[in-house]
Structure 1
Amino acid sequence: MDTTRQVQVLSCGFVGFLGFPAAELAGLGLSWPGVTAAVAGLVAFGALFAWVMWHNVPRPHTAATPYALAAMVVTAVALQFLLGTAWLVTASFYLATLLILVLPRRHWPLALAGFWAGHVALGVLVLEESPGVAALRGVAILVYGGALGAAYWLMEMAAELRAARAELARAAISAERLRIARDLHDVLGQRLTEVVLKAELSARLAAASPERAADEMREVSRSAREILGEVRATVSGYREASLGSEIATARETARAAGIELTVNLPGSPPPPEVDRAAAWVVREGVTNVLRHSMARSCTISVGEEAALGCARAYVVTVADDGPAHGSRPRAEPGTGLTGLSERLAALGGDLSVSAEEESFMLRARIPERAA
């Protein structure tokens, strides 16, 4: 049984408290027609209460059963002429409970004030009580309604907090999935291309130079083990890119592909955050050169750029001179350039692509304040 159904059943169980005014019928000196009318009224009041609770608990504050609630009020007033003071107190607690459940929160103050006024009027006009006694008893009902409303509000806030925590957990899971997907794309794209190129080179050298082919296959094996380690580290979330290691990998890959690689680095190493971001740019840029061009040469440049104020920015470019092999990459959903753009945007940087008929350049700007 779910929580809503449990609350419905328990709420309907409060009908049992109507047994107390029913037990007092014998001491009221009513005639048999009066007793019959009182019992019928109590049964109708209980049935209406159960009906209202059953249909409003799943949809609180929506006034889902206005006619049943109005019928309860009419029945309570009619019973007041038969059952006296005890019934006024009992019916007041029942109706105050339903007002908190059925009406929106913004209507609670006005509804409780009107309910208090009706309670006092019945006490004075029907039970012939003094206004002070009736008003004091009505204050007790107001306190009960206020406490019940506060408790209900706290319950709703707790439910909203649990829902917010669940939503945050789902968002964190989604973000982690995106991170893993992006990192795996960036990790596997270049390294697997490197493995393919080395394997093809080994196949071509197998007949002419077996020793060199064996060396290349050993490089394939080493690269495969490195890829496996990088994938494990990426999934674990502990992997850090390094500009130096990415350039070293780019040199090996370019040599295997027959591409002349030129690297221009600044005199002093960039800050750690800039270094990591630049490493991702080099990785994606070299991967695009290998997969999307027939380049003969490639240039990787990392330099400083003057910026406003005291802050500096680093510019990383990866350019090649080859015509496109198929189609050049674009920053579209699901591509490596999109993930790279997201990384740079998080650091306050930006990414631009310049594509010509026989040249391609990837340019990234990374502010030093990222450090």
Structure 2
Amino acid sequence: MQPRIPRHTVIAAIIVGMTLVTLAGFMLPPLAAEITAPSPDAWRVLLGLASVAGVFALYARLLWLNLMRRTAAGHRFGLAAIIAVSWLLPLAFEPGRGWENALLLPSGLIAVVLPLRRAVAVAAVATVVTPVYGAFLGVPPLAVLYEAAGVPIAAFSGYVQVWLFHVVQELQEARARAARSAVGEERLRFARDLHDVLGHSLQAVALRAEVAERYLERDPGRVRKELAEIQSMARDAVSDVREVVRGYRATSLRTELDGMSAVLRAAGIRCASPAVSPELPAHVHEPLGWVAREAATNVLRHSSATWCEIAVSADGDRVALEIVNDGAGRRSAPSGGGGAGSGLAGLAERIVAAGGEFAAGPAGDGTFRVAAAVPAAPPPAVPEPPAVPEPLADAPAARPGGAS
């Protein structure tokens, strides 16, 4: 099962929280020892509480800002303050109560706050100086050895922690860019088809109109002929545009599902292209192809799905398409209410108009399901309305199928 990746701010908050829990394991035992001592010194307890709280707050702030890539030169002063407090605490309290653990606190921030080359140098110096200072404080030899090994490990751990967080953040951003790119490529494809279909026709209409204007006074018969050609070209252009909008002239369900699965995989969503029978009736490709396009757009733009399953079935009376993904729990409002022809609402109207059934919504188990079924038998042909008579008596008849 592929894990779901939360938002980067949630991951950063988890990292900061876990780091503070780790720091608490170092600092709370000696602080508790001061509080529960037989004759606790109120000033020492207050000093310990203030020092631990201040170090924790400053540590969390520096870690959060660097996770969010809000680095600044002033963060070095914050690191210096943590080092100063951590090294002064063992001097201010009685030895043997665990305050020497504070010497390791700044190590995790060295490679987070400082540039990498400088962090390596500082970590190397701290690896030598920290155990020497611990020995000066009277720390047991085993604890000195632990501090000598703990400084580079903590520094490397802090660096890897922030690096992995930034890698995950960049992967999320790359996935979002891939989704936007997929939608943009679809729009560009539609724009190219529309330009190829409509650009030539409009240019031809403009040229015919110029010719008619030239012969307006000299040859009325030529003008009528050019106007009839303009009318015919305009009707053909309208028909071509309808074909483009309807499904890029020849819609193939197999092509649409292959494209959908490829786009989703590029966006980091696990999706396999289903097997589509080559014997599917021709009239089912267009409505079910629209379902595939809209479902892919909704998965990319309105959910954080990690997998998507597609199934095509034919039982003799109808052909069904079902698309299920696991993005229902974090799904935003789909673009289905934008009117007919767009979103899930317009898609439902298309399927119902084709004599089929359509359903879309959460399935109750954290998944979102889109299902459409259309009759296997082709719909009855709708007779075209009669052509409008030409206003010019001697103009040639319009070509068949040209009524708009």
TM-score of the superposition, structure 2-length normalised? 0.45
Task: Determine which structure has greater relative contact order: mean sequence separation of CA pairs < 8 Å that are 6+ residues apart, divided by chain length.
Answer: 2
Larger Rg, first or second structure (1 or 2): 1
Pick the structure with more helix per residue.
1
